[in-house]
Structure 1
Amino acid sequence: MPLVTTGELITSAASTHQALAAFNVITLEHAEAIATGAERANSPAVLQISENAVKFHGGNLLAVAAAAAAVARASSAPLSLHLDHVVSVDLLHAAHEAGFSSAMFDASKLSYEDNVKATAEAVRWGHERGIWIEAELGKVGGKDGEAPLDAHAPGVRTDPQEAAAYVAATGIDALAVAVGSSHAMTERTAALDHTLIARLKEAVQVPLVLHGSSGVPDEEIRRAVASGMVKINVGTALNTAFTGAVRAYLEANPSTVDPRKYIAPGREAMSATVAHFLTTIG
């Protein structure tokens, strides 16, 4: 079916007090697994490509975006294309031509004042082209090899009053918040601050986004959605499933040289993981 916009999917989820899952695409097999998992769960989903994934593909955004979009259009599930954790303004500006309906502009490492300025400009640029813009306030941690942060350390979690001011000053369409999760977790042990999620929900008028959901247990995710989270980002869980299945196949079949033999179970493991997360968030 035709690509759906992320904004449409988010609006639909929020209107029914549900959530939308977004999965990171690194390879063609990731995109195929996300589409298959969404079809199995009879659910919409977001295929998101990060700046790091674009770098992995030699900086060729158009090629990886075209591949993901082709997979999405061939699927019977409602799928959108999202550019994730964009630091480069040039890459953000390439999103429109590449067919993205949304982007997460990441100025979280800047000072608050510079973050607001850069993000407001990204929003202005995006809205002129119909692109939905997500941004981050707080420190989720674990990105680009950083150590996971203590979610209870001072200054780490997102402050509701600051969040309200940030949303008003930037005009963003969604806000990624730090509430206890961390990027790149391979074990699902994160404990979220559900009281804070509820306070943030009351403080801001845009959908809340949970990054680092791979490390969050199922029941914590369900509670987070009930407390007000609308977009649930999943990346590492797919890689963990893929790598585990590939490793098991090669250990059992050490003479295999045809990559299709071990990539297929890896892709299937990712599909099952996608379907599980989609079923979990309902």
Structure 2
Amino acid sequence: MRMGRLANLFFWEINDPLRVLVTAVGTFVIGLIFQHSLLVSLGQVGTVSQMAEGLHSMTGLVLVRAATSSNLWVVATFFVVVLTALAFRAGIERGYEAVVFSLPYSRAGVFCVKLVATLLMSVVILLVPVVLLTAVNLADVPRFDLSVLLGDRFLGLTIVLLAGLFYVVSIATLLATALRSMLMALVLAFPVLILPYLLGVNLPPRNFLFDVWGTLTILTADFSLSRFITEKILLYGFIVPGAAVAASLLMILGRDVR
């Protein structure tokens, strides 16, 4: 019964009209940027017909360059921050969040549902264009088949992208729960998260997104995900975001809904 109530809350969250609109617009815009980056990278690098396990060697370089470009991640960060602020602050400022917490839901349950819904919508914004446009643009590459999308290298790239999204969502969630205004959460979270791209400094998520270039494009027969998952990706992609999420949950549990 409890899981059923949380499932109803989850579907209510992902069907919020404003967040659905932001997700749809974000997916379209990211698709345009990724397509441009992909075509530019294809023109500069090209592709090869020899098959590496999972990705062609040059094709892998093309995809990594396009999927980790600064332009794409700055715009994706904007949409993710908006989604996070809407999830954790809009209901409070509109007054209906108190009603949700008056229902038989635990605060931790409501928080987890909001976080999962935000992560899911963020994944849609980024990964749907990447997967679809990769298939469309590379379908005429010699010997292209589903292994390009299902191989170890593409899986590694997907893990990096998910880690980057988790980092962005976790920091935006921390600021949205710490600040008492949706506007302040937007104004502060977006500059903080894109600062590494604007200044070119070695801070997350820029640092581990860019470090993945060489790892994914090396043509070796013994490629494995264990070689690819570095300490930097574990730290900034999972441990730091996990700590930020835990701090956000503690703040939610320790104060009134406001």
| TM-score normalised over the length of structure 1 | 0.27
More strand by percentage: 1
Structure number with greater CO (CA < 8 Å, separation at least 6) is 2
TM-score relative to the length of structure 2: 0.29
Name whichever structure is richer in helix by fraction. 2
